[in-house]
Amino acid sequence: MFRVTCIFVCSSVSNLRADDSISPPDRQRVLELLKDTENLRVRRDLVSMGAKILPVLWEECNDSEASAKKRTYIFAIVSSIPGDRERFVQLAAKDLPKKGQLLEIMVALNLIRSTKSKNYASDVGSLLKIPNDLLAVSVSETLAIIGSEKELILLDEWLKKDLRVESGPVRMGVRDGRDMLKERLQKDKR
């Protein structure tokens, strides 16, 4: 099976309750760590702090001066932290097809996949209109997790109409995503 997965942070995460509050020194540490967007160790450190940092990340994400790069970095971190992440998903999914950079879209898809939020299936499906092979496979993988019958039809149509790639790994990847969605929907009916 051809599989495209965006892995931005890989770390074991301690089981913290979402209501654990963050101390002022920890808050300051989070803000300092957020400045270093290139260091994988920093990302792991942020993830290991767990759900208690979500409010700080939300404030930073919601800052009117936050750049797309900073939001994308925060979304990548949030996708690896268990807890209530719905508001992050809403922000990441907002205007999803209009996002300028492939990385922004891929990180948003990773966040949506990690939360299994079915509310954004049609937004994700609309990304199939963008002619990008890597994106098409990632969209099909995301729809395998969150899609409905409507998205199954959309994937079938893409496979029939999009002849940019007659065979090969991209077509196989989209077909695999479609097949996983079909299987999940059949299981859900039982």
- Which pLDDT does position 99 carry in this prediction? 67
Sequence-distant (≥ 6) Cβ neighbours of residue 82 within 8 angstroms: 13, 15, 50, 51
Sequence letter at residue 129: K
163 vs 138: CA distance, rounded Å: 18
Average pLDDT over residues 23-36: 90
Of 21-25, 28-32, 58-62, the poorest mean pLDDT is in 21-25
**C-alpha separations of 188 from 88, 114, 135, 148, 176 in Å:** 27, 19, 26, 10, 18
pLDDT tens-digit series, residues 60-113: 998 889 888 889 999 999 999 999 999 999 999 887 767 678 999 999 999 999
Cα separation of 115 and 129, whole Å?
Answer: 24
CA 152 to the chain's CA centroid: 20
Give residue 12's pLDDT: 33
Q: Where exactly are the structural domains of the chain?
A: 1-115, 118-190
